[in-house]
Structure 1
Amino acid sequence: MGPSPDRDATLSAPRFVGRDGALAALRDALARPAALVDVAGETGIGKTRLVDEWLLAEPGRPRRVLVAACLPFREPYTLGPLVDAVRQGTVGVGGLVLTELAGALRPLFPEWTGDLPPAPEAVPDATAARHRMFRALLELVGALHVDTLIVEDVHWADDATLEFLLFLTSRAVRNPPGVVLTYRPEDVPAGSLLPRLLTSRSTAGPRLRLELSPLDVDDTAALVSSMFGDESVSEAFARFLHRHTEGVPLALEESVRLLRDRGDVIRDEGEWSRRSVEELRVPPMIRDAVLERVDRVGGPARLVLEAAAVLGEPAGDELLAEVSGVDDPAAVTEVIDTGLLAERERNRLGYRHMLASRAVYDAIPVTRRRQLHARAGDALRTGDPPPLTRLTRHFREAGAVAEWARYTGLAAERAVGSNDHTAAVTLLLDLVAAPALDPVARAGFAARLAVLAVWRTEAVDDLHRAVVAVLREVVAGEGADRRQRAEIHYGLGRLLVQQHDYEAGSAELERAAHGLAHDPATAVSVMTYLAWPLTTPWPAARHRYWLRRAVATLPRARAATGEDLELLALQASAWLFLGDERGWDIVARFPTTAPTLWTRQKVSRGWSNFGGAAIVWGRYGDAKAWLGLARRAAEAEYGRLLDTITGNAVELRWLTGEWDGLLAEVTALVASVDEENPVRWSALLVQGALLAVRGEPDRAAEHLARELDRALSGGQFVVAVQVSAALARVLAARDDHAGVLAVTDRPMRWFEAKGVWIWGADIVPVRVAALCGAGDVEGAAALSAAFAAGLGSLRAPAPRAAALTCRAMVVAARGDHARAAAEFGRAADAWDRLPRPYEAWLARQRRGSCVLAAGDRERGLALLSEAYQGLAAMGARADADRIALLLRGSGVDVPRPWRGGRRGYGDQLSPRELEVVRLVAAGHTNRQVADALSRSPRTVATQLNSAMRKLGVSSRTALAVAVARHEVRLPEPD
């Protein structure tokens, strides 16, 4: 008799096979402090099994491990995986030593409010609140003495969880736990923060990436053998399974169980095989194997499996019974016997694999599925507190629109209370986009959605674009009253501006401003934004109209809110960017101290704006002071504002001639920030300008041209004007007058139409020079005269010095060299007073050329030699070389400059590097050094790295030793 099928063959859980190397690497990495390990692989490849094996290894070693599991909710709740992990890791926090900071955790752990400190003062800024919550959660993890945090299926993690992991693994955190992440690369959504976490260079400890591959045929045979008590498996059987499962362990296990259940597994002459190679086609998808097993259980057990799939997460017996309608222990036992469900946590049953859960869920008939979701919602709504996010899902899928809407509103507000605006927006978007919702109710939810979407801190993503689309649809339809329509226009306008669609966004904000009488503070904010001339090519009159409206509305806004600092700052900035000195009158009355967090919230952005405006006006001392105030306030709480301040700061250093280390810093900034970061275009401007003056224009021209195209297509007035001026300087270094005129043409037309001449300090002189160089002297004269007339009596040092330069260039182009020399002298003095040394030396160079052309050879060559020395000392190589060529042609002996770097330093420390070294050697952190020297932390890091490279040391300790041994001569402190 031949072999027969054996349906009663006992199957064991498969042994851990084919991963010894990965396990050893994981063990070695986690033996070191603060390790970050990511385990990547497809569904069923064995990521969780690898981590479980590590947990089981060395049982005598004391460990404190938290395991967080990310679930594929459509609306993940704030820090949900981490919150659940902490709940599983401790029964309470009553015995823990926690500071007042832990009070921020009350929204996450409402059941522990009796043991947590009081909630701290509310923080208006979402970014600051989230950062505080992260610090509080980190303190709790430390109090629990966690040495390893495991986060499974992190591709499903919400943004807040990923941001916390970025924070936890950064060098800023002292003594962090080791972190293990498991994820499926193919399921990482677009725009996720996970790639940034996986590639971050700022992690505190060692990094390890394990990418698990499918098993080969030999390992396949070993795995299957382990399921049959280590008995032999035929080579044909192993190859068959490997071919149809591609060696994925979960698919192998499920397929073997299906074959056994069907009786297709046979034992012949001591080894296991299949009954026939041709009779059974094992499906490639695990789903089919799962459904085969579901079909073999009885009716009540199947109902329990369906209920568990609908619930989507581990549930207790009572909940399963209520949802399934089956209160039969035998049915639960039968379900467990299938191997599909297992005890996941504290007497709760859940699917062993999410894929199996999804397979069962998809197979449930639609009407039955709706009924189960309705039961789940009814069962869960009695919870204390009720699981709002889960309730929205269940009532949505049940088609119970009224209940869905109710719990969506509650869940969204709870998310807002936790500063998780992304979760709130996702919930509301799903509801507002539903065609079944009543138009009036839809309009109300859309108005709330519009406001909350503006509060998100994430960059423009698919969610952002989806909100814009649905808001446009709602506002074009019926159901919204005047107030709701205004709020929708407001949110839509702000979102479009964030997408850099400034024209469309400003148009929506104009519509909003007319309907915001009920909210005068927001109305003033909107009107003031519309008054800003930075982002659209609107004429100045249109901006001033809205600024006058804002001023008229301000008293009502003050009466409604009891505050005016933020609104005053906005208005002062608008006046200044419009070139109106009334702004400085407001600035003079503005506070320069912020003793409380609330005050910093109100004034820090104003300080930043005042610094930016002072740069435009040419009040560089004021700019440095305001930016210093803003930086000290922003570094603690506001990352995005800090980027704006950094951008202004590097631009100020370029203008004032503080070039030491600046090219390396801005090059690093351009390479390290995304295209939406406000620091990027400032860094590109400075990079292009420095490369041009140092004789390397080609490296900058391509980047600047691309940035100019983006600014022009987005209608960004200021960016277009300033980037075109920077690109024009690069082209001017090649004497490409036609190129300069081409790249400045459209921005210049915007500039002239807008009529805000204070922005002309860079673009007007370079265009006037190109017009003169191209032979259009009258065109240059007309532009120069318009510039001077547009400035009028405005006390703006930089534009006025630029106007003097323009007038001098026109006079020189007309051949009156003696008068032109005097005009260039006045321009040089004006630039010196700012100070703006590079422009001053260029003006002196032109003065020398005019004196030489007027016939005074000796004096002219002396002036040119002086300009040569000044420009060479600054590092303006291209300009110095051009003057040197002229001087040598006139018989003047000019030494060949050293090309190894800025003259006088070379491998020696620069004065700015010496200042940093002195403070670091005294034990100060980079942030403390930055505060002391009024520099950005990025600048300090760049200068410290440069100093360590020059000194041949690789650590701060070695640097301190070198200083102690007097190997470094430090400057005396001021």
Structure 2
Amino acid sequence: MLESAAEGIAGVALVGGDAGIGKTRLVTELVDQARERGFNVLVGQCAELGDALPYLPLADALRGAAPAVSAAAATRPLLGQLLPGTESAPAAGLTQQRLFGSLLGLLADVQPVLFVIEDLHWADRSTRDLLVFLSRMVQAEQVCVVGTYRTDDLHRRHPLRSVLAELKRLPTVTSVELGPLKSGDMFDYVATLGEVNAQALGLIVSRADGNPFYAEELFAAMTEGDSMPDGLASLLMTRVEVLSEAGQRVLRAAAVAGRRVEDELLREVSGLPLAEFEQAVREIVSRGLLRVDGYGYAFRHALLQEAVYTDLLPGERTRLHAAFARLLTAPAELAHHHLAGHDLAGALAASAEAGRLAERLGAPAEAHSHYDQALALWDRVEGAAELAGESREELAFRSAVTAADSGDNHRAIVRLRALPPTSEVNERLAYYLYEIDDPAGAIEAAERAVEEAKDQVALSRALATQARTLLWSSRHQEVEALTTRALETARAAGAKDAEVGALLTLAIHVEHQGDVERAHQLVETASAGHTGDLAMDLRARFHHARIHYDQGMMSFAAEVADDGIQLALETGLKWSTYGTDLRFLRFLIHYATGEWDEAEGVAAGFPVRVGTQPEAILSSFALFVEVGRDLPAVESRLSWLAPFWSDALAVYMSRGLAAEHALWHGDPAAALEHVHAAMAPLIEGDSGTLRLAAIGLWALAELGTTEGADELLSRARFAVDSGPLGQRGHLGPEGLAWAARAEAEWHRVHGRLDVELWRNVVAAFDYGFVYEAARARWRLAEALLASGDRVAAQAEWELARKVAGKLRAVPLERALLEFGRRARFGGGSDGAGDRAGDRAGDGGLTAREVEVLGLVAEGMTNREIAQRLFIAQKTVSVHVSNILGKLEVSTRTQAAAAARRLGLLT
């Protein structure tokens, strides 16, 4: 609009939004831009004074105008009266028309002009008339008029409403509604305010509801230890205090109910007659304090509800909570109101029931919260077990399991360790300790679970879990016997979950021993049907999908993973261990098969601003595509993941990909640091070593040093030949492909571009890993060119470029284009045009010899020239000998001097 005004097309913009949403910030930026473009700027402010001071924003604008504008206004008597030291402007009638005419003349004389009128919701009638006049009359002038107003202050009968409705129909008027910022933008904005931890940041963003001003106030209050800033509370309450007494009464009752309340429930608690209640609600809704939401009402903003609730007197608050408790039957709401009304016995009973209900409905996080609330009240209530319907130990056990189901294994472990050590408690403790990578603790707890088992069901679960904890330990040879015993016990006791757990552990064990066919059979048996334990069902589906992914059977793996993800979403277990694992496995299937747009779509649901270990692990997988496409989110994601680098999987994924990111951006030293950090927590022989070793060797090749190369290759070979803890097992196609690449990269570090080795890498990844096959073709093309097979090199280069372009793999595309430029690809596919150029020489030198001479003049060694031109070092030596002979010199320095003298260098 500012550009249009500069071109002589006038316009009016009406900018609306809630208080604090950013209207003034937007206008300030506009004013700065206008001044940079040479506009005369007029800014006027309306005030909450009614019609006492007509034309207040116009007078305000003229008084703050530039001297040239003030001088021009002073020559117009009616406008001059608005300047400092004069009397107030005359009122309406013909005088108003003359005043508006004078203003129009002024704007024409001092154009281009930006005229800003702020806070139109407080505008007097004369100012509203002025806005209508300008909107209709400015047409071909270099004039831009901008008005701002608060949408949350426009109640149903507000006089500005009709004016806005009329103006928005005009072709010269543009309406701009500023809504709340999205959560991602809010996170970024709050992060600019200062240092704040992840938990506090999340709390500010959730409470601010997309309002930047509210976020600023909350941030300032949080740094001072306050919950609700006084200034913000006062601002919010000024809108409440204009309500009638009945309106305030209804709003106070609504605040006690929470963010949302049913119409009938609110009417009952308010205690007003129906007609008076409906009139009060209409008033509240018209002022934008509540909005209609289904069969009830919701606060326009969470902080408004909080401010009204905080403003209640203690007795008033207690009585209202008690009133809601009498009318409610839903356990969760009932527990809340009982607690707020100081009815602790009622709160405990309702919390326990709310937890069981949430558990049945597939909401483990909510169930855990309710159980913990009941446990917190336990010692303060007589007859707690009767009220809760179960013992304290049973309730605490439920709390632990639901904590794990919602992704908080650490919380589950803390809760279990506080319980008497029964077989059931130790079995779950072992299971969760294994999940957080504490094998020693898991084995110890599992052994206690087996020893303390009182019945066959408990014994079967304990045996299955014990076998799982020994999978990657020095006692792995015990796994088959333990799983066999667990299966027999589970089948005899009818413990389906223990049976499936034992089958899955046995499948992993035999798979690692190389019996892949038997592993498939075991996993398929485990995945058939349901166990009654949702977490175990997810584990079965994950391994069913994973074993097919590891064998390169991508289509089937995708189908099973989708089924598992759907189950996790439906049952509320998406943040449980296997709910998370299934989602990142599905992402990896998209990534490997070249469905990068789909993978990026899945990754959009992976949080960047992580606060828990499951979130960090899931977030780290998004880096595959973000690094591969060099997306801006990489740096931000890595900074949020850094605090979680104590977790083995999070550090393996995120730092391994951080290494690739550093390599693409020319920092091999940083890449090597990431590789060593990611390898540190891995046990000897872990297959994850293969990928990291290959990346580390890539970094060493870029650094031009062989130091540490043998150690990296040795670790990779140990993973292939010996496996974890000396257990030589089965490697799937991806593992074998990374092993082949590590071998080829090691030779590259030592200056050898081995065609056959890189051909093996391409073939190994060509089972369906699209991107890695293309990256291998890049190196194969380099090796082929160095060997002199230019035609084959260009063919591999073109195949790699086609894939990189399809994937929008920007760093790989850049590398391929640079390689193609230096290799002088781009003529005919057979390279004939380039070879013809080689025969055209200057000073007796061929084109290739001139190119080599230029690099000799730069001081490069033969090895460095070979790497730059992708030819063999021996070939460089032949070129240098030919150059010395043709130029009749004996040293490289003399050759460079002769070349400069002959003008052969550019």
Higher relative contact order at CA 8 Å, sep ≥6: structure 1 or structure 2? 1
- Partner secondary structure for residue 299 of structure 2: strand
- Partner secondary structure for residue 650 of structure 1: helix
1:76-155 alignment to 2 at 5 Å? 85=265
Check if 1:425 corresponds to 2:371: yes
Check if 1:727 corresponds to 2:658: yes
Q: Distance in 1 between matches of 2:155 and 2:441?
A: 52
Q: What is residue 597 of structure 2 aligned with on the other side? A: 660
1:397-436 deviations in Å (ceiling 9; x for gaps): 89xxxxx6x9957972575256463464134422456699
- Partner secondary structure for residue 665 of structure 2: coil
Cα distance, 1:493 vs structure 2: 7.2
Q: What is residue 784 of structure 2 aligned with on the other side? A: 851
Q: Distance in 2 between matches of 1:178 and 1:395?
A: 23
Cα distance, 1:838 vs structure 2: 1.4
Which of 735, 742, 746 aligns to 1:799? It is 735
Larger Rg, first or second structure (1 or 2): 2
Contact kept, 8 Å, 2:697 with 2:712, in 1: the verdict is yes
Distance 1:542 1:724, change over 3 A: farther
Contact kept, 8 Å, 1:532 with 1:577, in 2: the verdict is no
Contact kept, 8 Å, 1:531 with 1:574, in 2: the verdict is no
Cα distance, 1:799 vs structure 2: 0.3
Structure 2 letter corresponding to 1:888 = R
Structure 2 letter corresponding to 1:692 = V
Check if 1:790 corresponds to 2:733: no
1:496-524 deviations in Å (ceiling 9; x for gaps): 899x7968985895586356514765676
Q: What is residue 557 of structure 1 aligned with on the other side? A: 490
Q: What is residue 838 of structure 2 aligned with on the other side? A: none
1:184-263 alignment to 2 at 5 Å? 185=303
- Partner secondary structure for residue 762 of structure 1: helix
Q: Distance in 2 between matches of 1:48 and 1:511?
A: 66
Q: Distance in 1 between matches of 2:467 and 2:254?
A: 49
Q: What is residue 455 of structure 1 aligned with on the other side? A: 402
Q: What is residue 352 of structure 2 aligned with on the other side? A: 412
Check if 1:821 corresponds to 2:755: yes
Q: Distance in 2 between matches of 1:85 and 1:740?
A: 61
Distance 1:735 1:560, change over 3 A: same
Check if 1:746 corresponds to 2:680: no
Which of 179, 185, 199 aligns to 2:297? It is 179
Which of 560, 581, 587 aligns to 1:626? It is 560
Q: Distance in 2 between matches of 1:699 and 1:689?
A: 12
Q: Distance in 2 between matches of 1:810 and 1:466?
A: 44
1:564-963 alignment to 2 at 5 Å? 564=497, 566-567=500-501, 570-571=504-505, 575=509, 581=516, 583-591=519-527, 603-616=537-550, 618-634=552-568, 636-638=570-572, 640=574, 644-660=581-597, 662-663=599-600, 665=601, 668-670=604-606, 675-676=611-612, 678=614, 681-686=617-622, 688-694=623-629, 696=630, 699-704=633-638, 706-707=640-641, 709-713=642-646, 716-753=647-684, 755-757=685-687, 759-760=688-689, 762-773=691-702, 774-776=705-707, 777-790=709-722, 792=728, 794-814=730-750, 817=753, 820-833=754-767, 835-893=768-826
Distance 1:593 1:428, change over 3 A: closer
Cα distance, 1:751 vs structure 2: 1.8
Structure 2 letter corresponding to 1:747 = A
Structure with greater proportional helix content:
2
Contact kept, 8 Å, 2:246 with 2:280, in 1: the verdict is no
Distance 1:763 1:552, change over 3 A: farther
- Partner secondary structure for residue 892 of structure 1: coil
Q: What is residue 849 of structure 2 aligned with on the other side? A: none
- Partner secondary structure for residue 179 of structure 1: strand
Distance 1:630 1:436, change over 3 A: closer
Moved more, 675-684 or 838-847: 675-684
RMSD: 6.2
- Alignment length, in residue pairs? 580
Contact kept, 8 Å, 2:626 with 2:634, in 1: the verdict is yes
1:465-498 deviations in Å (ceiling 9; x for gaps): 99977765x55xxxx4x42xx5556677788899
Structure 2 letter corresponding to 1:770 = A
Q: Distance in 2 between matches of 1:309 and 1:892?
A: 79
Cα distance, 1:872 vs structure 2: 3.2
Cα distance, 1:828 vs structure 2: 0.9
- Partner secondary structure for residue 640 of structure 1: coil
- Partner secondary structure for residue 682 of structure 2: helix
Q: Distance in 1 between matches of 2:635 and 2:510?
A: 31
Structure 1 letter corresponding to 2:758 = F
1:250-649 alignment to 2 at 5 Å? 408=348, 412=352, 415-417=355-357, 419=359, 421-422=367-368, 424-431=370-377, 445-456=392-403, 474=418, 480=420, 482-483=421-422, 506=442, 510=446, 513-514=449-450, 517-518=453-454, 540-541=473-474, 549=482, 552-564=485-497, 566-567=500-501, 570-571=504-505, 575=509, 581=516, 583-591=519-527, 603-616=537-550, 618-634=552-568, 636-638=570-572, 640=574, 644-649=581-586
1:891-946 deviations in Å (ceiling 9; x for gaps): 32279xxxxxxxxxxxxxxxxxxxxxxxxxxxxxxxxxxxxxxxxxxxxxxxxxxx
Q: Distance in 2 between matches of 1:513 and 1:67?
A: 54
Q: What is residue 247 of structure 1 aligned with on the other side? A: none
- Partner secondary structure for residue 660 of structure 1: helix
Contact kept, 8 Å, 1:704 with 1:723, in 2: the verdict is yes
Q: Distance in 1 between matches of 2:560 and 2:412?
A: 36
Distance 1:465 1:825, change over 3 A: closer
Unaligned runs of 5+ in 1: 1-17, 29-35, 57-64, 90-146, 154-164, 170-175, 189-210, 213-249, 252-284, 291-305, 316-343, 349-382, 399-403, 896-974
Cα distance, 1:626 vs structure 2: 1.5
Structure 2 letter corresponding to 1:797 = P
Contact kept, 8 Å, 1:149 with 1:178, in 2: the verdict is no
Structure 1 letter corresponding to 2:501 = L
- Partner secondary structure for residue 669 of structure 1: coil
Q: Distance in 2 between matches of 1:593 and 1:148?
A: 57
Distance 1:676 1:410, change over 3 A: closer
Distance 1:735 1:309, change over 3 A: closer
Structure 1 letter corresponding to 2:488 = P
Cα distance, 1:853 vs structure 2: 2.4
Unaligned runs of 5+ in 2: 1-121, 123-151, 162-179, 181-208, 212-231, 270-277, 285-289, 360-365, 829-906
Distance 1:82 1:830, change over 3 A: same
Q: What is residue 54 of structure 2 aligned with on the other side? A: none
- Partner secondary structure for residue 750 of structure 1: coil
Cα distance, 1:579 vs structure 2: 7.7
Contact kept, 8 Å, 1:869 with 1:880, in 2: the verdict is no
- Partner secondary structure for residue 736 of structure 2: helix
